[in-house]
Amino acid sequence: MHSQTLIFGTAGYSALITLALLLLTPIPGHAESGNPSICSEESNYSKRQLNSNQVDNLCETHRGKVMLVVNTASRCAFTDQYEGLEKLYSRYRERGLVVIGFPSNDFGNQEPGSEGSIKEFCRLTYGVRFPMYAKSRVSGDNADPFYRALAQAAGTPPRWNFHKYLIDRDGRLAGSYNSFVALESDRLIDAIEGLL
């Protein structure tokens, strides 16, 4: 296990308490049935691969797969979740799961580095092989359109780093899990296995 340092701002412990309250607010584990597909025929979410010029259409590239979409950061107390994400990807990739990472500096300035440094950190520290895409805004008015669609389907945008959205093979949201939900938790594993 790798240790990371959470960088506290001047707000200190009060910021931690606020974060805990936000993250512990219940989020539905599964979207309502009948939710429209995030990857409908009208959707066109093209994203550039991390530190690359190659652009993928997310819905085309990962069509027919179960997607676990995660906003990541390299300087967060949850950064060790990279290890669990890679384990999930390795374990279920052949059955149709793809983990998709979106580095973001939206929360606590915890992903300030360049795309090159992010990619190197992920590979060297955690052996990340799952697809990672360009550094993105995942919340607020300027959020990436893909993340806006996810937030609309889930009823909530990410509230911190390492929020997880689970999307079924038909492109519909199947679950939304906050940062505290561990990658090895029965709740998440059961949901993934139920979709594969």
9 located within any domain: no
Q: Residues 165, 184, 25, 14: is their CA dihedral positive or negative?
A: negative
Q: Within a domain: residue 24?
A: no
Residue 99 within a domain:
yes
Q: Rg of the chain over CA atoms, in angstroms?
A: 16
CA–CA separation, 179 vs 16, rounded Å?
13
Domain-embedded: residue 153: yes
Nearest-angstrom CA–CA distance, 174 and 30: 5
Q: Please state, in angstroms and as integers, the Cα–Cα distance from residue 74 to each residue in 2, 118, 120, 145, 181, following that order.
A: 12, 7, 11, 23, 18
Residue 84's domain is classified under what CATH number?
3.40.30.10
> Would residue 171 be called left, alpha or beta, if left means φ above 0 and alpha means ψ between -120 and 50 degrees?
left
Catalytic residue among 39, 59, 76, 122: 76
Task: Look at residue 89 and tell me if it is in a domain.
Answer: yes
> Which structural domain, as residue segments, surrounds residue 145?
32-195
Q: Which amino acid is present at 196?
A: L
In a domain, 20, yes or no: no
At 80-110, the pLDDT tens digits run 999 999 999 999 999 999 999 999 999 999 9
pLDDT per position as a tens digit, 65-82:
999 999 999 999 999 999
Domains: count for the chain: 1
Please state, rounded to an integer, the average pLDDT across all residues of the chain.
Answer: 87
Q: What is the pLDDT of residues 143-178, one digit of tens each?
A: 999 999 999 999 999 999 999 999 999 999 999 999
Active-site residue, 39 included: no
Is residue 54 assigned to a domain? yes
